[in-house]
Amino acid sequence: MKNGAFKVRKKNDRKSLISDIRDHVIYSLSKEVKDASEWDAGNALTLALRDRLVERMIETRDRYRRAKSKRMYYFSIEYLLGRCLGNFLCNMELLDLCEDIFKDLGFDLDEVQASERDPALGNGGLGRLAACFLDSLATLDLPGCGYGIHYEYGLFRQSIHNGYQCELADYWMKDGMPIQIARPDQSVIVPLYGRVESAISPSGEFLPMWVDWDDIIGVPHDIPIVGYGGKTVNYLRLFAACASENFDMDIFNHGDYIRAVQRKIESEMVSKVLYPTESVSFGKELRLVQEYFLVACGLRDITRRFMAQNRNFEEFADYVAIQLNDTHPALTVVELMRYLVDERRIDWEKAWDITRSTCAYTNHTLLPEALELWSVSLIEKVLPRHLQIIYEINSRFLKMVERKYPGDTGKMRRMSLISEGGTRKVRMANIAVIGSHSVNGVSELHSELVKTRLFPDFSELEPEKFNNKTNGVTPRRWLLNANPALAALLTDSLGKGWITDLDELRRLEGLATDKEFRDRFMAAKRTNKVRLANYIKATLDIDISVDSIFDIQAKRIHEYKRQLLNVLHIMHMYLELVDNGIASACARTFIFAGKAAPGYWEAKQIIKLIHSVAHVVNNDARTKGLLKVAFLPDYRVSLAEKIIPACDVSEQISTAGTEASGTGNMKFAMNGALTIGTYDGANIEMMEEVGKDNFYLFGLKQEEVEQALISGNYRPGEIYNQVPEIQQVFTALLENRFSPDEPGLFKWVVDKLLSDNEKYLHLADFKSYAATQKRIDKDYEDSNLWAGKAILNTARMGKFSTDRTMREYAEDIWNIKPVYG
């Protein structure tokens, strides 16, 4: 220690690292170095890195304290981190050194990294975005951290049996997570259930008291988040649920040991599994408890830190910013009000001003089913005091609306926090909007639709709070770490500046016509295609040609993402070849990856259809060298890191107006893939950046989709009658050509797509999609043309770094500033 400042002692040189790795094998793992396995070696290296990260984390914390900086806390129900070791090595600039060290120790660092399990803390884009944000915050030296839940089991591991998705438990913590740091000394108590008693203070003030509640304990675990260069280390704080010793012992002392154990198990269920099923009432209750658990733990931690610095709560919003990642943490608004009013005894209006000044809300979806609604009766059961506060917020808010729009009962009904139709429900999105000073969408189109389609009344009332923050991805994870072949070429050509300033890639534009650079760029692409082809052979026993177009759709399986449109086109290509004798200009390998929600029948049937089509196509001698189809199971970050760098054509084909942003589209293009996409989400901004000539646009625009659906003019039967290609595909489905052993299996596809109620307009976009695919074939035949387009996609993706996104949030919403090391 010197002048009260923490001194960083651990060095990153070869001698120090080797010494620490050996020490951890012996003293942390209790093994001799000669007996260490790859897994042991990986653990020892991780622990050696953790020592260094902990020192930097303490130094970063002290730096923030000295600067008296305002901090941002990101509340998200999920974080899809991916494997940590490789990312740490890249950001600490230790990858080459550690590869060399491990060679001397007799290990292959790539194989050591492959032994690490993906932390199963998220499901898809929402969680991966949160992880990218944390990376950029630390890289930019911004004071901020994440709050989430320490799930013991992930969503599920996906396996495929006879073409059907099967869900397996994903116990990702089976082998532990050596990088994380348990903080039991900072555990918090979370109250649940109970009832509210009304009392009156001596001064006549109403004093509601939440009593007879059960409690569970939230135990924090920190995962260090290191920025590029290793100077700033923030953290992700995840809370695990544990039973309260107090109520367990109370039951135990009454002689009911079995019930005491049962209560302990029930308490710990809160952080047991990501996304419990909502098909039964217990699942819904557990999900609500999870959301409150996240919020209560996070706020208790924030207020503890705030009070430790002896600050006045009227200054809370000057030092604290909270970002709500979608509606899952919307109860933050209510819990902060409860804390300020009930525990700090702050006047309601002042507490409301503090809450709104602190909270900001990001919306991620326009789909009505994704906007959370909780029944009033369930909230009353689980959080009785919070329901009272929701009613009070609603009453005061609607009085204000009534004053501004007298007599407009329709507007009041739409803006109310309570939906009154049928079962009364609480609208979590409305709570998030009312209780925040900022509401943002995640692409320009989406943000406009948030204002005009999703929250038009709120936008009219407070237009200044609505804004756009287009998503991004971190180039450290998705280019530097995931694509070493391309990253090496970029660094060789541009220097290392692009790693923290992705706009530097613009300098590649001048090389797009340079033959030597084009050849090296496409050689890097081929290296990645060979790696993926080998993985597919080892995993699925499918031989694919690396000279074929790798056409990839990797994302959650959902009707609006239109994997079904992709499969319709594949069936069309197959039938064109085998029935009509028309071969495509270029060989194609169609690759799919993604999970379907366990209760989503149509999505799971789409997976079955993909496998059935793949079985027919891949086993037909007539398609040899021309057409292959592969579905890679259990899509996760580590698999995405193999898939994305190998992609030639990126499928971003959601129905226009349904995808908020998309971030997979950015990852693919950043790695030199060309996009076939609709005029939707961030596709629009990507096309503007890379140029229309380097983007394959097709299909209806959002306003055309909306008009077709609102007017009722969408008649898929008429399209069917006019398009022979669709007729041929549907006939093949009805004649069971893709399900010869299961007659009638895919009749549902024909019925669904011919229904006038089919809201994703598959048939409306089919002809445009197929024609655009033919354009892709033609362009790919000209290798120089294609290489130039691919290079320009990489060169013009600077806007889509989360570094840019985080700067915008920091300046426009959070009002936080970098604190440099």
Q: pLDDT tens digits for 785-799?
A: 999 999 999 999 999
pLDDT of 2: 46
Asked whether the beta carbons of 187 and 217 are under 8 A apart, the reply is: yes
Strands 214-226, 233-243: pairing kind: antiparallel
Angle at 511 between CA 505 and CA 512, to 5 degrees: 95
Q: 554 near 635, Cβ under 8 Å?
A: yes
Which of 59-91 are b and which e, b meaning 16 or more Cβ less than 10 Å from the residue's Cβ?
bbbebbeeeebbbbbbbbbbbbbbbbbbbbbbb
Among all chains, which residue has been given the structure tokens 């000209």? Answer: 782
Q: What is the pLDDT of residues 535-584, one digit of tens each?
A: 999 999 999 999 999 999 999 999 999 999 999 999 999 999 999 999 99
Q: Is 667 a catalytic residue?
A: yes
Residues facing 216 on adjacent strands: 190, 243
Q: Over pLDDT 70: what percentage of the chain?
A: 96
Mean pLDDT of 729-737: 98
Torsion of Cα atoms, 105 then 108 then 113 then 117, to 10°: -100
pLDDT tens, position by position, 586-610: 999 999 999 999 989 999 999 999 9
Question: Which residue in the list 411, 529, 555, 562 is annotated as catalytic?
Answer: 555
Assess whether pLDDT exceeds 80 at residue 521: yes
The SS3 assignment for 346 reads: coil
Could you give the CA distance from residue 348 to residue 357 in angstroms, rounded to a whole number?
Answer: 14
* Active-site entry in 52, 451, 556, 558: 556
Answer yes or no: 555 catalytic. Answer: yes
How many CA atoms lie less than 13 Å away from 821 in the CB half-sphere?
Answer: 26
Listed in sequence order, the residues at least 6 apart from 666 whose beta carbon sits closer than 8 Å to its beta carbon are 471, 472, 473, 682, 686, 797, 800
The beta strands (E) that lie in 604-749 are given as 627-632, 649-652, 674-679, 696-701
Q: Model pTM?
A: 0.95
Kindly state the average pLDDT of the residues 357-383. 92
Percentage with pLDDT > 90 across the chain:
87
List the structure tokens of 35. 């007996």
| Helix, coil or strand: residue 242 | strand
What 3-state class would DSSP assign to 422?
A: coil
Distances 353 to 274, 380, 511, 754 between C-alpha atoms, Å: 34, 25, 54, 52
C-alpha atoms less than 13 angstroms from C-alpha of 682 in its C-beta half-sphere: 25
| CB proximity list for 436: less than 8 A, separation 6 or greater | 324, 333, 356, 359, 360, 361, 465
- pLDDT given at position 280: 62
Q: What is the pLDDT of residue 258?
A: 67
Is the pLDDT confidence value at 613 over 50? yes
Confidence band, pLDDT 50/70/90 cuts, at residue 254: low
232 is catalytic: no
Of these residues, 52, 150, 476, 561, which one is catalytic?
561
**Backbone φ and ψ of 676, nearest 5°:** -105, 120
Is 113:98 a contact under the CB 8 Å cutoff?
no
Residue 117 annotated to the active site: no
Tell me which amino acid residue 308 is. A
The yes-or-no answer on residue 263 being catalytic is: no
Half-sphere exposure of 567 (CA within 13 A, CB side): 31
Predicted pLDDT at 1: 41
Find the catalytic residue in 139, 303, 327, 663: 663
Let me know: does 523 contact 792? Beta carbons within 8 Å.
no
Which pairs count as long-range contacts for 382-385, CB under 8 Å and 24+ apart, including other chains?
Answer: 382/192, 382/193, 382/285, 382/288, 382/289, 382/292, 383/192, 383/288, 383/292, 383/331, 383/334, 384/193, 384/194, 384/195, 384/196, 384/210, 385/196, 385/208, 385/210, 385/338, 385/342
Q: Which of 128, 157, 364, 518 is flagged as catalytic?
A: 364
Is residue 195 helix, strand or coil?
strand
d(CA 68, CA 734): 69
Tens digit of each residue's pLDDT (9 = 90 or more) over 682-703 = 999 999 999 999 999 999 999 9
Residue 423 falls in the annotated catalytic set: no
Stated length of the chain: 821
Flag the least confident range among 280-294, 464-478, 550-564, 757-771.
280-294
